[in-house]
Amino acid sequence: MDNVGEALKSVIKYELNAEQEKKLIIREYRALLRSLKPKLKPGDKELVRLAFEMSADAHKTMRRKSGEPYITHPIAVARICVEEIGLGVRSTICSLLHDTVEDTDITLADIEKAFGPEIARIVDGLTKIANVMDVSASQQAENFKKILLTLTDDPRVILIKLADRLHNMRTLDSMKRETQLKISSETVYVYAPLAHRMGLYTIKTEMEDLAMKYLEPERYREIARKLAETKRERSRYINEFIRPIREKLERGEFDFDIYGRPKSIHSIWNKMLNKGVEFEEVYDLFAIRVILNSPPEREKEDCWKVYSFITDEYPPAPERLRDWLSNPKSNGYEALHTTVMGPQGKWVEVQIRTRRMNEIAEKGLAAHWKYKEGGGDESRFDKWFQQIREALSGPDNDSIDFLQDFKTSFLTDEIYVYTPKGDVKMLPVDSSALDFAFAIHSAVGSQCIGAKVNHKLAPISHKLRSGDQVEIITSGKQKPSEDWLNLVVTAKARKQIKDALKDEKRKVADEGKYTVQRKLEHFGAAFNQHNIEVLTAYYKLPSPLDLYYQVAIKNIDLKELLEFQLLGDKIEAPKPLKIVAPEQKTEAPAARKDAELIVFGESSERIVYNLANCCKPIPGDDVFGFVTTGKGLTIHRTNCPNAAKLMANFGHRVVKTKWVKNKEISFLTGLKIIGLDDVGVIHKITNLISGELRININAMTIEAKEGLFHGNVRIYVHDKEELDVLVDRLKKLPGIETVDRYDAETVE
């Protein structure tokens, strides 16, 4: 009887849960409809309901890792699209259906039948993206190309994907640690820059903050805590700063909003890193925003008037003026930014824009991409899409570098550079004179030998700045060379240089091809595909073209053909001699008496591994394992400069990793110390490290200049805990300003 009672209880409990879940789903769906209400036309509500029912039915047995019914995810994505990106009915339908083709029995044909070809095409684009990040690098780059072609065809694909990624980031807590690292790295590497490029600043900022929460948890919590602690003090300061400006704007009869908003945790952390300062020294923890309600014909005039009111009250830093009214960014962003000296000697950033500009800043592409529902200024995005189409049109399938090229060419901020006739060219930040030459024409780029930048001679490698006027100098004798690839950032320039090098290589390779043919026939073998493939594989080269080229430049001597076996007219590569090694000595870990053990996954196996030179991890650091070809497992810090790229591009080779405590072995790491050049300061430092804390010093260099000393100390520590104690103690020494762990590559 008891068993029956228990079973009855669990059935009732399940029914209650199912009932609660049903209410939750209906509540979320109604909230979506409320958001969508202003955009609904006759018949739209029925289509949205059909998409919701199709998706709910297809996902009815599925749950998210958090335990929630899966349908809550498509509804949440649709709400982000409508409420935060400003998309409409068709995008809502696509959002509700975005996972169905990949995860359920619904096919594209079913979607096309119910909703038509346009929605089917967008869902198809979203399905392709879903598979992008979980394959080999070259396949991934190929898939990414397909996505970008879809983007240039219909940008809603990328906007919905960004909404999908944002919701995944918001619900990442229930995922495994390695999944959190992989998804966060991908987000910060590709999706946040893409959101920025689409003008979705709020989404980009939230993505970066959420990624940092998982990639740098300690730093994230520390900055969040300090922001919370200083909130009241900041609010008081903002009110004091705003008061006189508000009075002036009211006297000028402006219709406006003015408020302060804190900078994101990620941007504060970036400032701390780039400027080498502590949280307390980051001056612009917030920005003041003035939003004007101005008619279109008076927008610029009103923004400049407000600028003059602000700079009358507070002195500006002239070099910090950013005028995106005269030259909007290519993602449509328009505003005036300035930094002024506020009360108590604090620098404050002020952003001035109108309501229209603010909508474009918040909703980006969607705000002035009206799809087939009306005009909109599309020209800047059109230019950008056209550049992407050109970059994608090349036949080059060797595309492992493609993602990196795409990031540097299309996802960074841009500069404006002028031709001698005053035409403006938009280029990515860090573009060189050579990039500019290729932007004018491929023939100009290929023959470029230098430039005149603002009427002064400059080399082709000269980095351009916004406002430069550039004249390119060419010569008919000039030809692109391999090192040019290091001087350019634009995809167009890289592609043209690679094409020119390939043509050159082909000409040289023709001689090598003739040599290979002669040698093979002399040896009694045929010059055929099989034999060429055997030779290419033997010399570990990627293609026959490379084989011919290496032969032509005499890097390969075909006398070795005598060692090959001849089977009729076919050749077989010589078999490598098997060397039976004496008892093999394993690498470091075995010789280290379990000292440096690392636990992988749930088991505690001992695995041969090495520590990455780029970031020199020590026990206690947040780390991950990366399976490298030929080297086995390499351990990187999660904040290593290469981490985001590795985890985003090769997620399938990332291994969950954590340290096991031990005190038997020391690890080499380094500290950079800056302080006042005082008598005995070096003695104090060495006495603390070697004397009091008994830490071995490997090397030490001290350089004193103009009253400051810069010291680099390399030391052996057991773990991060020991290093943190040392850093803390060093900071407390009188006269010491900053103590920082070395940047990656400085430790040899």
Does 118 have pLDDT greater than 60? yes
- In angstroms, the CA 579 to CA 593 distance is 29
The DSSP secondary-structure symbol of 603 reads: B
Considering the domain architecture, whether residues 46 and 152 belong to the same structural domain is answered as: yes
Q: What is the pLDDT of residues 55-108, one digit of tens each?
A: 888 888 888 877 788 888 899 999 998 888 888 888 899 888 888 888 888 888
So what's the pLDDT on residue 605? 46
Residue percentage of the chain with pLDDT more than 70: 80
Q: What is the pLDDT of residues 617-676, one digit of tens each?
A: 887 788 888 877 666 778 888 878 777 777 776 766 777 777 766 666 778 888 988 888
Q: What is the pLDDT of residues 417-440, one digit of tens each?
A: 888 888 778 788 889 999 999 988
Of 103, 222, 471, 569, the catalytic one is 103
Of 102, 323, 359, 678, the catalytic one is 102
Q: What is the pLDDT of residues 548-605, one digit of tens each?
A: 888 888 888 787 777 777 777 778 777 654 433 333 333 333 333 333 445 444 343 4
Considering the domain architecture, whether residues 606 and 727 belong to the same structural domain is answered as: no
Amino acid at 283: Y
Q: What is the pTM of this model?
A: 0.63
- Total domain count for the chain? 5
So what's the pLDDT on residue 244? 92
Asked if residue 738 is part of any domain, the answer here is: yes
Q: What average pLDDT does this structure show over 301-323?
A: 90
- In angstroms, the CA 281 to CA 135 distance is 43
Considering the domain architecture, whether residues 273 and 236 belong to the same structural domain is answered as: yes
Does 381 have pLDDT greater than 60? no
Asked if residue 440 is part of any domain, the answer here is: no
Considering the domain architecture, whether residues 620 and 730 belong to the same structural domain is answered as: no
Q: What is the pLDDT of residues 322-376, one digit of tens each?
A: 888 888 776 678 899 999 998 888 888 899 999 888 887 777 666 655 423 333 4
Considering the domain architecture, whether residues 524 and 623 belong to the same structural domain is answered as: no
Does 706 have pLDDT greater than 70? yes
Asked if residue 433 is part of any domain, the answer here is: no
Asked if residue 16 is part of any domain, the answer here is: no
So what's the pLDDT on residue 580? 38
Active site residue 103: yes
Go through 204-214 and write b for each residue having 16 or more CB atoms within 10 A of its CB, e for each that does not.
Answer: bbbbbbbbbbb
Choose among 462, 466, 407: nearest CA to 434: 462
Q: Where in the sequence is the domain holding 642, given as residue range(s)?
A: 588-659
Considering the domain architecture, whether residues 646 and 730 belong to the same structural domain is answered as: no
Considering the domain architecture, whether residues 559 and 603 belong to the same structural domain is answered as: no
Considering the domain architecture, whether residues 270 and 361 belong to the same structural domain is answered as: yes
So what's the pLDDT on residue 742? 74
Give yes or no for a contact between 363 and 380, defined as CB atoms under 8 angstroms apart.
no
Whichever domain contains 60, its CATH number is 1.10.3210.10
Q: What is the pLDDT of residues 477-515, one digit of tens each?
A: 888 888 888 889 888 888 888 888 888 888 888 888 888
Considering the domain architecture, whether residues 43 and 78 belong to the same structural domain is answered as: yes
Considering the domain architecture, whether residues 672 and 648 belong to the same structural domain is answered as: no
Active site residue 468: no
Asked if residue 4 is part of any domain, the answer here is: no
Considering the domain architecture, whether residues 602 and 557 belong to the same structural domain is answered as: no
So what's the pLDDT on residue 267? 85
Question: Domain ends where: 140, 174, 208?
Answer: 174
Question: Domain ends where: 326, 351, 371?
Answer: 371
So what's the pLDDT on residue 582? 37
One-character DSSP codes across 341-407 = E-GGG-EEEEEEEEHHHHHHHHHTHHHH--GGGS----HHHHHHHHHHHHHHSS-----TTHHHHHH
So what's the pLDDT on residue 145? 59
Question: Domain ends where: 572, 606, 622?
Answer: 572
Asked if residue 493 is part of any domain, the answer here is: no
Considering the domain architecture, whether residues 358 and 248 belong to the same structural domain is answered as: yes
Choose among 59, 146, 61: nearest CA to 98: 59
Asked if residue 127 is part of any domain, the answer here is: yes
| Token pair 């979203």: residue | 126
Whichever domain contains 684, its CATH number is 3.30.70.260
Asked if residue 376 is part of any domain, the answer here is: no
